[in-house]
Structures are given as structure tokens and as C-alpha cells.
Amino acid sequence: MISVMATAVLLGSPAWATKHASKPTVSCKQIKDAMASGKTAEEVEKDMNVSASHVKNCTTPSKHHHKTAKKTS
């Protein structure tokens, strides 16, 4: 009985809720807008609390979406 009550207290504590709260997501549009306003990639990472790889993925042009059309002569 005591272990059940201890588990309930632990799972209901604010520390547990904070630790397992989902991170707010930052869209690529938000990152691109911040970079367009003059911020560096490092500033965007720090200000928006995102990883360097997320910033890079959002700002690097995708090879798959920008295919060039072949010219037919």
C-alpha cells in the first residue's frame, strides 16, 4: 500500500511533469524567418532552443524538391 502511494505521489509531482513535458516544436518557417531577420544559426539555436541539425535541415535546400526540368530540343 505504501509503495502504491509513493508511486502516485512521484507521478503526480510537478518535477515529473516538467521532466516529461513535450518540447514545444519550432517550425522551419520560424527558423527561416529568424535567419532572414539577420540572426546567425548559432543565435537561432540558442534563442529557440533547437539543435544545430534542426536549423541546418531547415535552411539547407532539399535536393529532391528542386529538380530541374530536362530540356528537349
Contact 45, 55 (CB under 8 A): yes
Task: State the pLDDT at residue 54.
Answer: 93
Q: Which tens digits make up the pLDDT trace of 33-68?
A: 999 999 999 999 999 999 999 999 999 987 765 555
Higher pLDDT: 46 or 70? It is 46
Task: State the pLDDT at residue 69.
Answer: 58
Residue 16 has pLDDT above 90, yes or no: no
Query: What is the pTM (predicted TM-score) of this model?
Result: 0.53
Contact 31, 54 (CB under 8 A): yes
The Cα 58–Cα 30 span in angstroms is: 10
